[in-house]
Structure 1
Amino acid sequence: MADEIVSVNEFQVLARQALPKMYYDFYAGGAEDEHTLKKNVQEFQRIILQPRVLVDVSNIAMSTNILGYTISAPIMIAPTSMHKLAHPEGELATARAAAAYEIVSVNEFQVLARQALPKMYYDFYAGGAEDEHTLKKNVQEFQRIILQPRVLVDVSNIAMSTNILGYTISAPIMIAPTAMHKLAHPEGELATARAAAEFDTIMILSFSASSSVEEVAASCDAVRFFQLYVLKRRDIAVNLVQRAEKSGYKAIVLTADRPRRGRKEADIKNKMNLPQLKNLEGLMSIEVFSVSEILKWALSLYELLQDKGSNTKPYTNEIFDSSFCWRDIAWLKSITNLPILIKGILTREDGKIKVSSDDVFVTPFSIVLLATKAMEVGAAGIIVSNHGGRQLDYTPATISVLEEVVQAVGRKVPVLLDGGVRRGTDVFKALALGAQAVLVGRPVIYGLAAKGEAGVRKVMHMLKDELELTMALAGCPTLKDISRSHELDG
């Protein structure tokens, strides 16, 4: 504890010990009797604070804007002379310290998250399946696309709001379903939901959330969708869908690309163990599962834990229904009046599947084939997704198949995309290839891990600000002005 500095004044004592008297007096001294120097401090001490009580201060926002530049807190560094008298690196060290407090890109949040999280949790969020080829390609394929701007266009006003399933959002950027936010931050999905509400966008709550459907609904007034995995006993799906409806969720996102869990080698090496899913509390009983089913799952889990292994694979493989297929969508539609989004399509054929009504929303995994099937079952929209590279490795990057899916569905239904979005230019590129909006997953988790709700807000606003700048520089005052002609293949 002797080495812990707990106030700014203590640094003055240390500086006095470290510096030659001549240099210390140069920095610390004032004019003549030093009356004004002393009064500068004393007058602050004269002011008495008058607090307010019983105010919700669970989230403190300190960032502000100076001449159009956002800073993390209303504290700046004043001009002072001759820093090298205090330290050999002088002003260079001071400038680096100032920059350290300013996060200027979404990728920097990943660095902070890696520092903040236990390795097991960071790898759980950041890792992909097997060789992580698809995980890397999701990002790299965006970088292959070259933008072709238009000039001498009036871009004094940039309009970015759009409409998804009848709900207007501030920008074509939504929050993708990601698991276990409380592993990243104690407030978990509640903080993420509040950030989504502030940003005025749609959050898709994960089936594997660490906060319940009801808790997230009560946390704020945002528009929310609920992601659904179908379990072997359909009773649980019915229960979850009914709870989502009752809690005001506006759509169901059916994840289609996970009949079994992908092989994430980092989780195996780290012996990653997940807590019980919050939305399944009280449902894992003989009223829902047979005794033999519970014993089979429990035995496989027990044997693995005895070997101190990961519990993620037996947990998911034993309870998820790997027989669920396209014909079962009719069953899902029969238990809800909510629109259904299907997550995990990556093929043209899967995007064209007809159902009796037009309220199914598909999130693609096998893009072109799935796009065809989705149309045939009456999908109201498609989300091009490969589960963030966490399921089947060596599948296409989502951005590389987006245009083919859009062409397959003939723009009859909206197409969304997730996977690899790290810049506002990435959002622009997806829109130019026909997407109506993008979903952001890992960057949200990184922001949450680094700075809680404020970090999620920062991530979303960074992407929006970068998109606005890209639209202006590309000569696109509205989203409708963004077209395929603004892109060149690299």
Structure 2
Amino acid sequence: MMVPPDTVSLADYERHFDDRVDPAIRAYIAGAGADGITLSANREAFDRLRLMPRVLRDLSGATARSELFGEMLDYPIILAPMAYHKLVHRDGELATVEAAGLTRSWMTVSTQASVRLDEIAARATAPLWFQLYTQPLRGDTLTLVRRAEDAGCKALVLTVDAPVNGMRNIEQRAGFRLPPDIAPVNLAGLAPDGFKPARPGSPVFQGMLHAAPTWDTVEWLCGRTPLPILLKGILNPDDVEPAIAAGARGLIVSNHGGRTLDTLPASIDALPAVAARVARRLPLLMDGGIRRGTDILKAIALGADAVLVGRPVLHALAVGGLAGVAHMLTLLQTELEVAMALTGRPRLSDIDREVIFGG
């Protein structure tokens, strides 16, 4: 697959994605909770923030490198967990992980990946993380954890903000269904939820929440693996202390890409208060709306150590396959370096709140 020559930004990848991908698949990937207010807010919040440059600064030895959980991270950009890469490319997560390796980027493999974790790990040349949804049976949750350990994953990302799915009306209107040849293969052999509502009406309080994770679940899980566990889906600063007390080693400020509860705040708007409560006691990441290198710089200025990038990975995979994902990540890396240079910040540790105009 050839990357179109007019593809010079992540927005270009999204434009070509919209032109090429089946409308139902497009609705699933782009789909937001309810009216899409939070999805739109993720971008609008970044656009509201303005940068303040500095000139004639010493930029010698400039680098975007940092250390995270004892590993060298060349750029503060990590691929977010997303399900079913095979929806947009026949090689699915195998192409994505090879592109990540080529750009020295870390990848987070979804529980609902369309390729087995061990096969993805065999192609990886950069650190892998594994995103975990807890299963109805704790033994099945531990099975997934052990697979991640055996695959050499460096961390677990426990998604905590989706005990039920959001009301994804765009996806519902499009009638999206998984094709018969695509499945969450890493869940094969594990016990299905098996939930069936007992009476008409909303099913949510009829038993859908019986296996929803709690702080006790987090504490139990942290005590059963040596891997650092990051909690993904933190927006409220009041959740920071319980997370630390339960044993979490990192937090990810995230509103699930606007796919769960609508009218949540934009991730970048929620970040400063969470960062203030964390007070550098553990790594803090964020996702939601990252489309430019300037967005990454803004996130770091407001307290993040790194960011996760989601939908653009699938846009690039659909448009250009492995080469598309590698090119998209290179664009972000280059834009970040340009933003750092033009704001006079040669190292990530130099990026502070003063880089935000009026900040």
Distance, in Å, in 2 between the alignment partners of 1:322 and 1:386 is 21
Identity %: 42
Tell me the residue number matched to 1:407.
276
1:263 maps onto 2:167 in alignment: yes
Distance 1:489 1:327, change over 3 A: farther
- Shift of the alpha carbon at 1:489? 4.8
Deviation at 1:378, TM superposition (A): 3.5
| Alpha-carbon contact 1:231-1:321 (below 8 Å) kept | no
Q: How does 1:11-410 map to 2 (within 5 A)?
A: 101-274=5-178, 275-283=182-190, 288=191, 294=194, 296=195, 322-353=211-242, 374-410=243-279
Whole-angstrom CA distance in 2 between matches of 1:139 and 1:272: 25
- Return the letter of the residue paired with 1:446: H
Amino acid at match of 2:350: D
Query: SS at 2:249's partner residue?
Result: strand
Match of 1:388, as an amino acid? G
Following the alignment from structure 2 to structure 1, what is the Cα–Cα distance between the partners of residues 358 and 137? 47
Amino acid at match of 1:116: R
How big is the shift at 1:161?
1.0
Task: Please tell me the residue identity of whatever aligns with 2:185.
Answer: K
8 Å contact from structure 1 (residues 260, 322) kept in 2:
no
- Secondary structure at 1:146 match in 2: coil
Q: State the AA in 2 paired with 1:228.
A: L
User: What letter is aligned with 1:241?
Assistant: V
Work out which of the residue numbers 313, 325, 332 in structure 2 matches 1:463.
332
Counterpart of 1:451 (choices 316, 320, 323) is 320
Give 1:432's aligned residue: 301
Rg bigger for which structure? 1
Residue in structure 2 matched with residue 97 of structure 1 by the alignment: none
Which residue is 1:371 aligned to? none
More divergent stretch after superposition (103-112 vs 335-344) = 335-344
Q: Is the 8 A contact 1:230 1:320 kept in 2?
A: no
Name the count of aligned residue pairs: 351
Per-residue CA deviations over 1:127-173 (Å, capped at 9, x if unaligned) read 21000000000011001111011111022542111112111121111
- CA distance, structure 2, for counterparts of residue 333 and residue 321 of structure 1: 21
TM score, norm. by length of structure 2: 0.92
1: distance between equivalents of 2:209 and 2:112?
A: 12
Q: 1:379: Cα distance to partner? A: 2.7
Contact kept? 1:190, 1:216, Cα under 8 Å: yes
- Residue by residue over 1:311-352, the C-alpha shift from the partner in whole angstroms, topping out at 9 and shown as x without a partner, is xx99xx988854310111122123322111111100111012
Q: Deviations over 1:404-457 (max 9, x none)?
A: 111111111121010000000000100111111000001111000100011111
Select the residue among 344, 349, 352 that pairs with 1:475.
Answer: 344
CA distance in 2, matches of 1:393, 1:338: 32
Cα deviation 1:155-214 (Å, max 9, x = unaligned): 254211111211112111110001110001111111111111111121000111101111
Q: Distance in 2 between matches of 1:229 and 1:161?
A: 30
Poorly superposed stretches of 4+, deviation over 6 Å: 317-320
Distance 2:11 2:63 in 1: 25
Q: C-alpha distance in 2, partners of 1:139/1:322?
A: 33
Gaps (5+ residues) in structure 2? none
Residue 277 of structure 1 aligns with an amino acid whose one-letter code is P
